[in-house]
Amino acid sequence: MQSPGAPDGRWAEEKQLLGAPGRGIVAEKEWLRRSWRERNGGSSITACIFPTLTRFQNEHDSVLKLSRIFFVLLLLLVFTAVQSAAGRQGKRYSVMDFHAAGDGSTDDAKAFAATWNATCRDTSSPTMVIPGGRTFLLSQIRLNGPCKSPVTVQLDGNIVAPNAIWTTTAANLLTFYRVNNLTVNGSGQMDGNGAIWWTCFNKKKCRVRPILLAFASCNNLSVKNIHLKDSPDKHMTLFRCSQVQVNNVSVRAPGKSPNTDGITMSLSDHVYISNCSFKTGDDCVSILSGTSDVNITNSACGPGHGISVGSLGGNNTTALVERITVSNCSFSKTMTGVRIKSWQGGSGKANGFLFENLNMTDVQYPIDIDQFYCPPGNCPPQDSAVAISDARFINIHGTSSNPKAIRILCSQSVQCRGIYLDNINLSCSRHTARTRATISNAYGTIEGTVKPHVQFLGA
């Protein structure tokens, strides 16, 4: 096939001359340009061919430039990600760097306070480190916020309270106050050395006892994996806290230790407790007035008094508790399973309860609603009461140590309403008697099989 512009076939010969021996390359190029002009009306070969080559070269250069720019941007992104990850980890402040002894006998409260102050001032999401392999004696200490950025307290060592009666007023061993975006995590333990306090209380010599770990006005709080042991009074308290997650925390105290609740919360909302173990002398979890949107799941309770809402309405006060869920939990040798308790004379309301998928083993009262709560046993009758409504009990199975497996005792003046029972099967653990239910002044609905038999008002 003949090339364009060379109808006589001379183009192939002229092209061959470019590589023919005996001519310089510059002369050959000049001769080619002249030949091209003769056949193309004076248009130069540069004008016809070189623009195309130039465009190709420019496009090639542009691709190379874009590739280089993309590579540089990729490096910048990787560098930024690495820097961001390093920033998220933040600086670590060990209590040992602030002269903590960690020998279990020297008071390390000052070292903890100094470490906290440095951590709280840091803007890089820092971590306060309480290292493992050591025991830190603490007297009463309060760690205040707000902090400059989210803070993690890595508790891998052990904290112990003084083995003495160290306060005569209401106190907490360790308090976090107004610290938002706080995480307390680690494999360590807090030991309240409570035995001396329980003896003092039982002898009526100690009017008040300290709490082991307290959070007050802390939002976006996470407490994970730590162990709490032998508090003189309650183990952990949440007061005016919002958006709280407590996961894989264990609480341990003798079954006869007085008032050693696992977690007590008040005036708090959106609290999520999961995968926890409670062995205490009082409520595993206690939900007090002003609390809403609580979810307790996949946790074990016992020994102890169960998971309780209340007590509410004491000293003729007004109470409010709403939207509480307890699901997929087990109870063993507890006084109650799930319970709502209120004093006569109170007011307000408690509603929106779901107790679902619960297993009871040798529990005295697996299901308990009591509007006549009165530990002293000599409370005068009163007409006013906290109104309890919309409480659903679904898929609750197991054994009761008391034949009265279900107890729903409501006020004649402020009756319980909206009680719902579905798929309940509770038998007597000693097989000596059939279980039964005690119901008074309660309106409700029954679905599926419910054992023992329950009779609501209006049914």
Q: Which residues have a catalytic role annotated?
A: 282, 305
Cβ burial, residue 20 (10 Å; 0-12/13-18/19+): exposed
Q: What is the 3-class SS of 32-80, one letter each residue?
A: HHHHHHHHCCCCCHHHHCHHHHHHHHHHHHHHHHHHHHHHHHHHHHHHH
DSSP character at residue 98? G
Assess contact for 309 and 371: CB atoms under 8 A. Answer: no
The three-state secondary structure class of 119 is helix
Helix axes 25-39, 10-17, angle to 10 degrees: 160
Beta-carbon contacts of residue 278 (< 8 Å; ≥ 6 apart): 250, 251, 262, 263, 284, 285, 299, 300, 301, 302, 304
CA nearest neighbour of 280 among 335, 350, 345 = 335
